[in-house]
Amino acid sequence: MATATGTLPQVQEETTIWTWLTTVDHKKIGTMYGISGFAFFLLAGLEALIIRTQLAVPNGAVVDADRYNQLFTMHALTMIFLGIMPLGAAFFNYFLPLMIGARDVAFPRLNALSYWVFLGGALLLTSSFIFGGAPDGGWFAYAPLSDEEFSPGAGLDFYAIGLLILGTSSLMASLNFAVTVFNMRAPGMSMMRLPVFIWMMLVVNFLLILSLPVITVALVQLVFDRNFTTNFFTPAEGGDPILWQHLFWVFAHPEVYVLILPSMGIVSEVLPVFSRKPLFGYAAIVFAGVAIGVLGFAVWSHHMFTTGLGTVPQIVFTASTMAIAVPTGIKIFNWMGTLYGGSIHFNTAMYFAVSFIALFTIGGISGVMHASPPVDSQQQDTYFIVAHIHYVLFGGAIVGIFSGLYYWFPKMTGRFLDERLGKIHFWLMFIGMNITFFPMHFLGLSGMPRRIYTYDADLGWETWNMVATIGSYMLALSIIVFLVNFFWTMRKEPTATDNPWDAPTLEWATSSPPPEHDFDVIPEVRDRDPLWYDRDHGIEKVEPPSEMHIHLPPPSYFPLLIGLGVLLLGVGVLSHLALTALGVVIVIYSIWGWALEPTE
């Protein structure tokens, strides 16, 4: 159980449900993050399809106003917190130890706990559709609309409690990952030899570690306002709704980078592999990523240009916001530099990676446009912004994630996703994405506000709305093609060798899929592109000793139990406090059991 013996035919125990529930293996946890994240991604996509169907024609009648407001709120919350973030976490879980040459993360049980708490929070938030109505105040939940007076239903309580639980999960995961990156690197893997994906995720972890506490405070204040008679955001009692906006965006702007940086990292891995040359300007890309992270904390008020900030704050936040264009530009140019002079092998992963550059650039450029407050005063809260965020988050984050999926799939499963279906998937998605989101620029220019469930005819909005809706169905089709590809591929025999792409990073130095202990022998790193260095210098892989005793942490059910306790805690706040008490008891009992559980 705790000891895998030799690399002889893997002594894999029979995998049961219990194995998954008690696993502390980062690869299994990553897989669970991936599957859950993808399921929620599909759910959020479905919500988007209903939204687009409603807006296909003027005065649409598919859903009513309240349901529509729930749908766009949940679409954002689900995509951001339950879709893209866990998908990024899935790759990071799976590949962080593999890419730095470790056998697991620093705290395997804490890692399992992060997942179970995430799943609990995700189910709680989503269950709001069944129990008393989903949150309908936008993912930003601006006060005082989110106060009890204007949102008396349970929706906003689900929002606050759900996000608090999800935040706890993200914080635990980020602390764990940050320690792993700092402390678990293989010999020779200095910080400036870390793969760019690891660097970007490290920045993500620090963004979360430093921004989650801020939204935690805001959510606590919201919960207190709604349930415990405080008036933090009630104007009539001296409260200030703008304070909520500040606290929210101090978190939520870094959150945007939390969503995009993982994909920037993935693309920085994929481009060099299939261009068959090293990443152009590694140091510049790393420092640009760090700079984006640091500047990300200094720009939050650009979401509030129209709130009457005043002249000087507008100028300051314009300057800081525009400054972010510089490191972003550096990254884009360096990716292009990576393509330059290469011998580019175009497979599906590379299609997605190259289109990432183009789509993300479009999103980045429109971002610079409304970094200028006067321009923003015309674009803020219109479909122009909807276009912008979807170019960044769909054209950027999602496209990057798919690139990573096609790239790492053989490593994770031993199987190659079908290239023909993959290219159909790519082209449907690429064209569908542009047909859906580019027209939204035009809608914004012609004055269509965001978050409206209906609009009148004769405003010039019919054509582009219909086009966008058609595009969204094309996106749905592309996802179906992907799913077909996935299930079909999983029925095939695994054929992948250790390093089928001739990639330079350490995860390709072990078998596909990797053994439970990741590496038979912890590799030694001699260069930023270790496997290419070894290849070019004729360094053979070290043969494992005939007899090995690799210590692996034993499985544990305490993470699952604590996750359950935390879920009960949240459910109790929303229903009956007795459940909360039960949750607290379970959590305390499990922490105690956890602390005494032998890990050796």
Partner 1 sequence: MRPSPRAISLTVLSLAIVLITTWLIWIAWDATASDPMTTLAPLSDNADAVQGLYNFVTILAGIVMVGVLTLTLAFAVIFRERAGHEPQQIHGNSRLEVLWTLIPVAIVIAIALPSFSVIIDTTGDAPDDALEVVATGNQWWFEFEYPGLDVTTANELHLPVDRAVNVELRSEDVIHSFWVPQLSGKVDMVPGHENRLWFTPHETGMFLGQCAEFCGTSHANMRFRVFVHAPEDFDAWVASQAADAEPAQGDLALAGEKIATTLCAACHTIRGTNAVGQIGPDLTHIASRTTLASGMFENNSENMAAWLANPPGEKPGSIMPNLNLNAEQIEQLVAYLQDLK
Partner 2 sequence: MEATEAAHGEHHTSLGVDNRMLLMWIFLASECLFFGSLISTYLIYKGESLVRPLPDDVFDIPLTSLSTFVLLVSSFTMVLAVYAAHHNFPKMMKLSLLSTILLGLVFLGFQVYEFRLFGSEGLNLSTNQFGASFFVLTGFHGVHVGVGVLYLGSMLIGSMRRNGLGPSGGLYMEIAGLYWHFVDIVWIVIFTVIYLIP
Q: Give the catalytic positions in this structure.
A: 75, 104, 139, 169-170, 253, 255, 257, 268, 302-303, 328, 331, 450
Choose between 114 and 382: whose C-beta lies nearer to partner 2: 114
Choose between 174 and 355: whose C-beta lies nearer to partner 1: 355
> Which of 322, 466, 476, 584 touches partner 1 (CB under 8 A)?
322
- Per the DSSP assignment, residues forming a β-bridge with 582 are none
| Partner interacting with residue 229 (select from partner 2, partner 1, none; CB below 5-8 Å by kind) | partner 2
Q: Which of 58, 20, 40 is nearest to 459 (CA)?
A: 58
| Partner interacting with residue 175 (select from partner 2, partner 1, none; CB below 5-8 Å by kind) | partner 2
Q: Which of 266, 277, 236, 324 is nearest to 95 (CA)?
A: 266
Choose between 214 and 503: whose C-beta lies nearer to partner 2: 214
> Which of 187, 374, 494, 545 touches partner 1 (CB under 8 A)?
374
| Partner interacting with residue 44 (select from partner 2, partner 1, none; CB below 5-8 Å by kind) | none
In the complex, least distance from residue 480 CB atom to partner 2, rounded to whole angstroms: 41
Choose between 104 and 136: whose C-beta lies nearer to partner 2: 104
3-class DSSP state of 281: coil
| Partner interacting with residue 16 (select from partner 2, partner 1, none; CB below 5-8 Å by kind) | none
Taking CB under 8 A as the binding criterion, the range among 106-114, 232-240, 562-570, 586-594 that sits at the site for partner 1 is 232-240
In angstroms, rounded to a whole number, what is the distance separating the alpha carbons of residues 455 and 60?
8
In angstroms, rounded to a whole number, what is the distance separating the alpha carbons of residues 551 and 306?
57
Q: Which of 126, 217, 235 is nearest to 164 (CA)?
A: 217
Choose between 58 and 544: whose C-beta lies nearer to partner 1: 58
- Number of C-alpha atoms within 13 angstroms, CB side, residue 418? 17
DSSP 382-409: BHHHHHHHHHHIIIIIIHHHHHHHHHHH
In the complex, least distance from residue 155 CB atom to partner 2, rounded to whole angstroms: 23
Q: Which of 333, 328, 335 is nearest to 288 (CA)?
A: 328
Taking CB under 8 A as the binding criterion, the range among 13-21, 207-215, 347-355, 403-411 that sits at the site for partner 2 is 207-215
| Partner interacting with residue 224 (select from partner 2, partner 1, none; CB below 5-8 Å by kind) | partner 2
| Partner interacting with residue 458 (select from partner 1, partner 2, none; CB below 5-8 Å by kind) | partner 1
**Phi and psi at residue 137, in whole multiples of 5°?**
-105, 20
Ranges within 237-256 binding partner 2 (CB under 8 A)? 237-240, 243, 247, 250
Taking CB under 8 A as the binding criterion, the range among 26-34, 401-409, 457-465, 537-545 that sits at the site for partner 1 is 457-465
Q: Does 282 bind partner 1 (CB under 8 A)?
A: yes
Q: Which of 51, 16, 26 is nearest to 440 (CA)?
A: 51
Ranges within 540-559 binding partner 2 (CB under 8 A)? 542, 544-545, 547-551
CB contact set of 69 (below 8 Å; sequence gap of 6+): 136, 137, 451, 453
What distance separates the 2 farthest-apart alpha carbons in the chain?
A: 78
Choose between 67 and 526: whose C-beta lies nearer to partner 2: 526
Q: Which of 436, 405, 412 is nearest to 494 (CA)?
A: 412
User: Residue 151's CB: how many other CB atoms inside 10 A?
Assistant: 21
Burial of 111 (0-12, 13-18, 19+ CB in 10 A): buried
Choose between 176 and 328: whose C-beta lies nearer to partner 2: 176
- Per the DSSP assignment, residues forming a β-bridge with 266 are none
DSSP 131-185: TT----STTTT-TTTTSTTT--SSHHHHHHHHHHHHHHHHHHHHHHHHHHHHH-P
> Which of 101, 120, 239, 504 touches partner 1 (CB under 8 A)?
239
**What would the x/- binding string for partner 1 be over residues 291 to 310, using CB under 8 A?**
---------------xxx-x
Taking CB under 8 A as the binding criterion, the range among 79-87, 271-279, 490-498, 515-523 that sits at the site for partner 1 is 271-279
C-alpha torsion angle, residues 87, 88, 91, 95 (rounded to 10): -160
Q: Does 447 bind partner 1 (CB under 8 A)?
A: yes
Q: Does 357 bind partner 2 (CB under 8 A)?
A: no
Q: Does 152 bind partner 1 (CB under 8 A)?
A: no
The residues of the shown chain that bind partner 2, judged by CB under 8 A, are: 106-107, 171, 175-176, 178-179, 182-185, 189, 209-214, 216-218, 220-221, 224, 228-232, 237-240, 243, 247, 250, 521, 542, 544-545, 547-551, 592, 595, 600
